[in-house]
Chain A
Amino acid sequence: NAGVMQNPRHLVRRRGQEARLRCSPMKGHSHVYWYRQLPEEGLKFMVYLQKENIIDESGMPKERFSAEFPKEGPSILRIQQVVRGDSAAYFCASSQGTERVYGYTFGSGTRLTVV
């Protein structure tokens, strides 16, 4: 049973381009969470999604960032018109539910570098 799969592992984009980060949750997990880790910082919550629904996007920047988790396929975190400050590691986690008994499994992350 594969864990949470994120791709690509490393992504380089020029300023102004779009970045698409993909996350396939663990089998049986229908809850997906995205976190961002800036250099030398802890992880910060961005968004929580269930299939076809955004539940909480309170941690997402208001502009240029969007997330989806379609009925079929992986969850996508999309960053439009990237800027240097978007350079960070983006981690996805999944769980069966939100109760504390359900552990969160994190992927290995996508490291975005904006040049």
Chain B
Amino acid sequence: DAKTTQPTSMDCAEGRAANLPCNHSTISGNEYVYWYRQIHSQGPQYIIHGLKNNETNEMASLIITEDRKSSTLILPHATLRDTAVYYCIVRSGGSNYKLTFGKGTLLTVNP
């Protein structure tokens, strides 16, 4: 699986949009971009995933650049409960079951 690069930490004001970047310049054609988050002392929580089109669900939006070398996770209206470590993971399609977690980005939402 391709390696991802994320900033170590970011801050965001409550109520504002949080934009979390991820670089995955070595991504290959059949690899998907997944985002998970881990709130302190809890297990990882799935947020969203995509291949090349932008995706949106009730939690977040995922913007993938046209060359697919980077992506941005957007939390449109961050709340204090969104404070967590966010992991960007590249995963092959088909039956690749392993998730390779890096160190992620610690997002701190401030009041």
Contact = CB atoms under 8 A, between A and B. Distances in A.
Contacts of B100: 45
Interface string A59-80: 0000000000000000000000
Interface string A90-112: 01010100111001111111000
Contacts of A31: 97
Interface residues of A, number: 24
Given A45-B99, A107-B43, A100 B104 contact: no
By secondary structure, the A interface counts as strand
A100 B101 contact: no
Interface string B19-46: 0000000000000100000000111111
B103 to A, nearest CB: 5
A106 B93 contact: no
Contact of A100 (B41, B93, B98, B103): B93
A67 to B, nearest CB: 15
Interface of B: 32, 41-46, 49, 87, 91, 93-104
25 contacts: A4-B43, A33-B97, A35-B99, A35-B101, A42-B102, A42-B103, A43-B44, A43-B101, A44-B101, A48-B98, A56-B98, A93-B43, A98-B96, A99-B94, A100-B32, A100-B49, A100-B91, A100-B93, A100-B94, A100-B96, A108-B41, A108-B42, A108-B43, A109-B41, A109-B43
Given A42-B103, A42-B104, A107-B43, 14 more contacts: A31-B97, A42-B87, A43-B44, A43-B99, A43-B101, A45-B98, A45-B99, A56-B97, A100-B93, A100-B96, A103-B46, A104-B46, A108-B43, A109-B43
